Amino acid sequence: MLKASRKILLIFIDGLGIGEDDPRLNPLLHHPDIWPAKNHKPDFNGLSNIPIDACLGVEGLPQSATGQTALLTGINAPKLVGKHLQGFPSRKLIELLKNESIFVHLTRNGYNATFANAYRHPEDITPFSRLSVTSHAFKASGQPFRSVEQIEKREALYHDFTNRSLGDKWGDIPILSAQEAADILVGIAKKEHFTLYEHFMTDILGHKGDKSAILSLIRQLSDFIHSTLTLANEEGIKIIITSDHGNIEDSSVKTHTRNSVPFIWNFDSEIIDENQPERITDVIPLIKKILIG
């Protein structure tokens, strides 16, 4: 059994910043128990938040490739490459992830570190496949990706957590409620020192700008986070929720934003009190400190 104090679940939500205090501009404010705004802290029992910077001293809108690399390595990737890079990571970022990703660091030091997301065809991934930052970060540790088939065995979760976006071709895969999905995720995190779960429908819908679709996603996502927090609190699992840049918190634009992003956590921690994160590059050093000391 792993000690409860040594279990961290990092929930990475793509494109979720800290927006204005007006729910007409900031759809996250329909669920103020979970999500912070500029002058509002989440009020769910035991939850804390610190706004952290995602721009990292580089001009322009922060983007996913450099932002996620910075988040998962603790290194200022946009400064290193001279700009914010969108989409898939460049060769230089992949090299950085190979050597410095949290998965590589933890597994080298004898800790379990897993990626809970299910892939549609993990068997088809080759060294030449185009992969996201999170995939490269995990692949660098030499572990296999989880598959959609493992969702039914409660060993993996799809990025949308309900399985709806898998469509009909995966006929046997059930549609999960927020509670069922939370149950699976906490079940995975219980067995590991470190678990990453990535959700990116927030960024996709933020770019599309369909307000009713955004409100419906935020309702589902908030239910899922709510259930995950409730279960994790019972199990003594430490949860950290953060993002790579803003997007969905500002309904007035379809682009990313330069807003701060949340650093939300559900546990008492002297380490966090004494080393309060200021930017997304501070997340991984904190996780290392909490797990390894």
Nearest to Zn ion of 100, 244 (CB atom): 244
CA pair distance 103, 288, nearest whole angstrom: 11
| CB-based contact 202:235 (threshold 8 Å) | no
Kindly state the DSSP code that residue 246 receives in the 8-state scheme.
Answer: B
Nearest to Zn ion of 190, 199 (CB atom): 199
Other beta carbons within 10 Å of 133: 30
Closest residue by beta carbon to Zn ion: 64
Report the alpha-carbon angle 126-127-128, nearest 5: 85
Binding letters toward Zn ion, positions 40-79, x by CB under 5 A: ------------------------x---------------
Do strands 261-265 and 238-242 pair parallel, antiparallel, or not at all (unpaired)? antiparallel
Pick one of 14, 100, 160, 192: the residue that binds Zn ion (CB under 5 A). 14
Pick one of 244, 249, 250, 282: the residue that binds Zn ion (CB under 5 A). 244
Asked whether position 134 contacts Zn ion by CB under 5 A, the answer is no
Span of 103-111, 167-175, 236-244, 273-281 interacting with Zn ion by CB under 5 A: 236-244
Span of 45-53, 102-110, 223-231, 239-247 interacting with Zn ion by CB under 5 A: 239-247
Task: Please list the residues that pair with 279 across neighbouring strands.
Answer: 53
| CB-based contact 6:193 (threshold 8 Å) | yes
State how far the alpha carbon of 121 is from the alpha carbons of 104, 149, 161, in Å. 23, 10, 17
Interface with Zn ion (CB under 5 A), residue total: 4
Taking the complex as a whole, the smallest distance from the CB of residue 202 to Zn ion amounts, in Å, to 9
List residues binding Zn ion (CB under 5 A).
Answer: 14, 64, 203, 244
